[in-house]
Chains A and B, each alone.
Chain A
Amino acid sequence: MSNEPHRFAPIQRSLHWLMAACIIAMLFIGVGMVSTVAPKYLPLILIHKTLGVTLLILVVVRLALRLHYGAPPLPDDLPPAIKLGARLSHLALYGFMIIMPLLGLGMLWAAAYPVVLYGGIRIPALLAQSDRVHTLLWNAHFYLGFAFFALVLLHLAAALFHALLRRDGVFATIALLPLRNKATPAE
């Protein structure tokens, strides 16, 4: 990260938005599927499992890219406390992206359910059935799911704050397409 770029690499930007869309979908599918007994429950939970495991693979790729490419610096005039908050919240977002799918898988394993994804792909169990472990992981997946959603909202608010109010070029670092009235700060 010695050579700090102005923007995230295109592949990082693409992954950010692809995963953002999928994660938001996962959160909505999650709370939607557990609150219905309708036939759509079955396709929803199948998508939830399949997309969740796909996201686990994607976050590993994303972290590798992050280590390789690094990230553009935050604007110099951003107060240190805000900078710290931004870093910590990004760390937490990565944490959620890793832990949520693992908790989902673990909770199914600990309940002795076979984990079968779209296309009949079967994931072998790495945990034995256990009421205690199932309950622990279930609770974690449940509460962290809501915390994840809250943090995504906060992240969204911060992004809009940068884009609309501060107009400090932070949004441009991750935007998919170059912004029309570029406000990338001079460095």
Chain B
Amino acid sequence: MNQSGNLPRSGLGSLVLIAVVLGGGAAAFAYTAGWLSPGRLTPERMIAALTPPSGAPLGHRRNHAKGICFTGVFEANGNGLELSRARVFERGTHPALGRFNLGTADPNAVDATVRVRGLGLQIAADGEEWRMALINPPFFAVSTPQAFHDLLIASGKKDPEAMKTFIQANPEFAAFATWAKTAPWTASYAEEPYHGLNSFIFTDAKGGEHAVRWSLLPMAQVTPISQAELDKRGPDFLEQEIVERVRASGPQRWSMVTTVADPGDPTADPSKAWPESRHTVQVGTLVVQRIEQERDGPCRDVNFDPTVLPPGIRPSDDPFPAARSSVYRKSYDLRAAEARDYPRTGAAKP
């Protein structure tokens, strides 16, 4: 830039040069923003694929739209420090906030119709924060974010061939389909296991690194029940049940278990479970003490973005956490902007 003496002397040449520089700059910007590449998988396209034909759930999460808040504590037993130096693993009681939810984009879904149940959780410790969102199947439906997008598109089509074509291209989906058909249902959020599925890297105090996944396993008695039986219950029985259960029987508990990968285990593919024999560490207990409706509850305003991690935990080569973070951010932006469509009843917040 500092050799104007060498640049073209003619006025026309200079004008052309200026136009080229500006045009090139603007084009590079447009390209970076994805405006020239309609095929790029953007958060917007993922959200569009999640949106049901009946329209977006304005003011609600774009997926796992139906849910109810809880607060409680995470009781760490100190064993987790063997794997990660995160303070949430230091022996003690850390405040927890979360949300039981259903894997559907419909906030008014009938509970018995939704196969996937989930849990969003945030644990705080000494200024560190750990957020996560877990679901009840023991492995994810597909191997990649692109495949998840394709699944949403295929399952939204009326044409039965669409799903067949999808499964041919993504054979890993068969295992999930089997789980969905055969796994037992329960009649309570408190009886579900919740699995993180994505792999993360834990770093211990000595700098040692461990690829892990984790799960919350219910300590409540699990009573399997058929879907036909659940069909007879009310559309919101899960929310009513958890309110009633906590009121009548007190806090509900889950044991948090981390599983450590052996070298060579598939960390980048959440559709592949690791062998049962892997080393596990029970790191603490989630205690759910209080249930609150989402509309005015504390979980409403939280994005349980799985990449909000304390020092000592970071993402692995699993492509899902990054994809989820970018899409959850967009979902949050949208629902915050639409808060008027889902008005709060309390005067607590504007």
Are A and B part of the same complex? Answer: yes
Q: Which residues of A are at the interface with B, using a C-beta cutoff of 8 A?
A: 27-28, 31-42, 111-114, 120, 122, 129-132, 134-135, 138, 149, 153, 156-157, 160-161, 163-165, 167, 171, 175-177, 179-181
B15 sits at the interface (CB 8 A): yes
Expressed in whole angstroms, the minimum distance between the Cβ of B211 and any Cβ of chain A is 16
CB of B303 within 8 A of CB of A111, answer: yes
B225 sits at the interface (CB 8 A): no
B contacts with A, residue count (CB < 8 A) = 54
CB of B322 within 8 A of CB of A39, answer: yes
Given A31-B29, A120-B311, residue A36 in contact with residue B349 (CB < 8 A):
no
Q: Which residues in chain B, 1-20, are within 8 Å of chain A measured between CB atoms?
A: 1-5, 7-8, 11, 14-15, 17-18
Q: From the candidates B33, B307, B336, name the one contacting A134 in the complex (CB within 8 A).
A: B336
Expressed in whole angstroms, the minimum distance between the Cβ of B272 and any Cβ of chain A is 18
Bound-state Cα–Cα, A157 to B14, Å: 11
CB of B41 within 8 A of CB of A37, answer: yes
Which of B175-183, B236-244, B326-334 binds A? B326-334
CB of B302 within 8 A of CB of A37, answer: no
Q: From the candidates A42, A157, A181, name the one contacting B322 in the complex (CB within 8 A).
A: A42
Q: In terms of DSSP, what is the predominant structure of the interface of chain B?
A: helix
Given A111-B332, A181-B5, residue A157 in contact with residue B301 (CB < 8 A):
no
Q: Which residues of B contact A181 (CB under 8 A)?
A: 4-5
Q: Which residues of A contact B21 (CB under 8 A)?
A: 156-157, 160
Q: Which of A131, A156, A175, A176 has the most CB of B within 10 A?
A: A131
User: Which residue from chain A places its CB closest to the CB of B26 in the assembled complex?
Assistant: A153
User: Which residue from chain B places its CB closest to the CB of A149 in the assembled complex?
Assistant: B29
User: Which residue from chain A places its CB closest to the CB of B30 in the assembled complex?
Assistant: A31
Given A157-B18, A175-B1, residue A131 in contact with residue B322 (CB < 8 A):
no
Q: From the candidates B17, B332, B350, name the one contacting A164 in the complex (CB within 8 A).
A: B17
